[in-house]
Amino acid sequence: MHNLKAMTALGSTTPQIDQFEGVKIVEIPDIALASIAMRNGKKAGFSRACKAATGVAPPPPGHFETAGDYTVFSSGLDQWMVEAPIATHEDLAAQLASKFNANASVTEQNDGWVRFDIAGALSVPMLERLCAVNSRAMKSGDVTRMAIEHLGCFVMCRQAAKKFTVLGPRSSAASLHHALINAAKSAL
């Protein structure tokens, strides 16, 4: 019998936590992700299914909504990502697919992305050094897609000027983490 252990995106059995004066960066490995794409001509059915499945209507571009276990954010034209705790939603894509039926195409994204939460008084100056997002103007519930170190990432504002999430490709987790650490040190 194999003795397998889950590994975080940074290659450890425990999440990486980096603490600096004024900013904390935490790897968040315990999330499930799924992408949902509205099928052509299914807007009404898709909106109803999204509300029934997640508790929120599909948010417009640049925004995310949270209800209960689910966070839903726009990831492109007629596309959204759904985030939920992995402990209760390991099969999130299958759970959503059964509720969206023919209204959406659902794709599992577990282990395709790495999530880092950034919190603290220096979060905004850190993000200003990291990427071109106007983090100072972001409000809670805002999300934007942008390049960080040539990686396609999402930056989410969870609490204005204090708490953000950076979601990037898991295959480049170490590079993204390195960029976050350098930006944090630069902001000190």
Tell me: pLDDT of 13 over 80. yes
Measured distance CA(127)–CA(105) in Å, rounded: 33
The highest-level CATH class for domain 33-108 is alpha beta
Q: Where are the domains of the chain?
A: 17-29+112-187, 33-108
Q: For residue 5, what pLDDT is reported?
A: 84
Per residue in 50-71, pLDDT (tens digit) is: 999 999 999 999 999 999 999 9
Per residue in 119-157, pLDDT (tens digit) is: 999 999 999 999 999 999 999 999 999 999 999 999 999
Q: For residue 3, what pLDDT is reported?
A: 81
117: Cβ–Cβ under 8 A, 6 or more apart, which residues? 25, 26, 28, 158, 163, 164, 165
Model pTM? 0.94
Q: For residue 72, what pLDDT is reported?
A: 98
**Residue 1: pLDDT band by 50, 70, 90 thresholds?**
low
Question: What CATH number matches the domain at 17-29+112-187, 3.30.1360.120, 3.40.50.300, 3.30.70.20, 1.10.3720.10?
Answer: 3.30.1360.120
Token readout for 30 is 């315990």
Of all residues in the chain, the percent with pLDDT exceeding 70 is 99
Token look-up 């040539």 returns 150
Of all residues in the chain, the percent with pLDDT exceeding 90 is 95
Q: Among 57, 82, 188, 76, which Cα is nearest to 125's?
A: 188
Instruction: Output 3 or 185, whichever has higher pLDDT.
Output: 185
